[in-house]
Amino acid sequence: MQFRTTSGKLQEISADCIVLPVTSFSSVKSGALKQLDSASKGAVSSLASFGEFSGKTGEISSIYSPQGFKSKRVLLVGLGEESTLTADSFRAALGNVSRAKALTGSRKAVVYFDGFSDDEFFQAAIEGYMLGSFKMNEFRSGEARKDSSKLTDLLFAVSDKRELGPLQAAIKRGQIIAEGQNLARRLAFTPSNYLTPRIYARKMQELARKHRIHCRVLDEKAIERENMGCLLGVSRGSEEPPRFVILRYNGRRDGQKPVVLVGKGVTFDSGGISIKPAENMHEMKGDMHGSATMLATIITAARLKLPLNLVTITPLTENMPSGTATKPGDVLVSRKGITVEIINTDAEGRLILADALDYANTFEPQAVIDIATLTGAALFVLGYAGAPVLGNNDDLMAQLASASDATAERTWRMPIWDEFRDAMKGSISDLINSGGRPAGTMTATAFLENFIGNWPWAHIDIAYVDHEPKGRPYQPKGATGFGVRLLTHVLTNWHRPKK
């Protein structure tokens, strides 16, 4: 697919289909919509008066062969009320359009911005298109493997030539970010027999080489030398050895300390000896979504040439039951030396993150953000609508909150209280790995807190937002790639968090 930009009058645009996003209207008043109405003998007014199209969210309608137009078809797309217009209105509108026959049946289409000059809107439009048209065909056979869309050229147009510069920059940025998010989705969708820790680590090496990011892979021997007893305790039950991957992108040369991104990479979570019920267990191939998000984020940051130093740390393992598996009641010794009694082998994510967060200290980070499909209890915090975020620094939390508003990848802060810390204290060991059902998302975070250093830290639990159950305008059913837009926004607008 080719994405390009252009400028000119609506009538002069030549394409198989022009996509025209418009806000809600009660009568056709001005601008491109007025021209289109006149050129189509009042067809736009008729759509509105018959209640078929008036610019509401989710509405789509075609106008054919407007007189004096170079294009035979204009596809109107509703943005909703002007008073509530945000970047996400464009994401949603273009997401809806991305799967419409009018577009997939065209070879060349042009998205026309009439009266909009905000580059966040431009960026959101291409994001919406690319995220909405995402397909996962590689595990199908024959014809179904192929993309059925005819579209080869999608252009973004403004009327005023002077806006072409900002438009081009925004389209490029949106394309890179959406490609990042789609990469994370693809990885999260990939079955565990195609993405073992070893295969995944190799894939990361390939991607790192392609994007000129430094990559170091620790194998099981190196992981042993690092004394990562918690990660090893989780991987013990599997025939597949663990990996521990460190990616580095240096966007500046002044030796500034890096921001460290940590992602949970459990390529399959059966629960281990505390085995999960069979229903929905297949979804646990996506328990590496955090690592996919962080991999995609560092690649995206590198492609955007962000001026900061970044490290991504991803512990990769399966969680399986077997004769060699860690058993409930066993005690593991973490890299940090803190001992942990395993109450439930299904609480494995916090174990591998414990060693990864401790390892982050070797980089003297200016801040650490981790992201993980950590607790089923996240469903009872914010459901599918947003991700709970917890941490120790108000400034870092504020940076996440404003990124959450800007990208519509929603996070909301939850507390880390002493009650939650108490729930993780051991009787024969320093800590236990499960605090039971109450406040499960918060007690898991209180566990992680024991392994962080003296740096600003944020933990994002994506256990449910990693997966869309039904399908929304720019989010097809399945893996979401949650966090790539959010974290790219945080890193683009980064400042070292104040104490």
Least gap, CB of 284 to Mn ion (angstroms): 7
Q: Does residue 16 bind Zn ion (CB under 5 A)?
A: no
* Binding status of residue 466 toward Zn ion by CB under 5 A: no
For Zn ion, the nearest residue by Cβ is: 269
Q: How far is the CB of 140 from Mn ion (least distance, A)?
A: 29
Decide which of ligand BES, Mn ion, Zn ion, none touches 375; Cβ closer than 5 to 8 Å per partner kind.
Answer: ligand BES
Select the residue interacting with ligand BES from 119, 163, 341, 346 (CB under 6 A): 346
Quick one: what does residue 344 bind among ligand BES, Mn ion, Zn ion, none, with the CB cut-off 5 to 8 Å set by partner type?
A: ligand BES
What is the distance between the alpha carbons of residues 69 and 39, in angstroms, rounded to a whole number? 8
Decide whether 96 or 443 has the Cβ nearer to Mn ion: 443
Residue 400 lies near ligand BES (rule: CB under 6 A): no
**Of 269, 341, 355, 370, which lies in the binding site for ligand BES, with binding defined by CB under 6 A?**
269
**What's the number of CA atoms in the CB half-sphere (13 Å) around residue 128?**
27
Give the closest residue to 77 by CA, choosing from 99, 63, 106, 57.
Answer: 57
Would you count residue 18 as binding ligand BES (CB under 6 A)?
no
Report how far residue 291's alpha carbon sits from residue 340's, in angstroms, rounded to the nearest whole number.
23
Scanning 69-77, 307-315, 349-357, 399-407 for contacts with Zn ion by CB under 5 A, the matching segment is: 349-357
Stretch that binds ligand BES, among 15-23, 130-138, 154-162, 346-354 (CB under 6 A): 346-354
Distance of closest approach, residue 177 Cβ to ligand BES, in angstroms: 25
Distance of alpha carbon 18 from alpha carbon 11, whole angstroms: 10
Q: By C-beta, is 178 or 195 nearer to Zn ion?
A: 195
**Catalytic residue IDs:** 276, 350
Of 21, 440, 483, 497, the one binding ligand BES by CB under 6 A = 440
By CB under 6 A, name the one of 338, 463, 484, 486 that touches ligand BES.
463
Is there binding between residue 376 and ligand BES (CB under 6 A)?
yes
Give 55 or 272: the residue with its C-beta nearer to Mn ion: 272
Nearest approach in angstroms of CB 348 to ligand BES is 5
The smaller minimum CB distance to ligand BES, of residues 213 and 463, is found at 463
Determine the interface stretch with Zn ion among 58-66, 181-189, 344-352, 470-478 (rule: CB under 5 A): 344-352
Site for Zn ion in 251-280 (CB under 5 A): 266, 269
434 binds ligand BES (CB under 6 A): yes
Interaction between residue 287 and Zn ion (CB under 5 A): yes
Site size toward ligand BES, by CB under 6 A: 15
Residue choice 326, 373, 450, 475 for contact with ligand BES (CB under 6 A) = 373
Q: How far is the CB of 174 from ligand BES (least distance, A)?
A: 29
Residues that bind Mn ion (CB under 5 A): 269, 346, 348
Kindly list the residues in this chain that would bind Zn ion in the complex (CB under 5 A).
266, 269, 287, 349
Q: By CB under 6 A, name the binding residues for ligand BES.
A: 269, 287, 344, 346-349, 373-377, 434, 440, 463
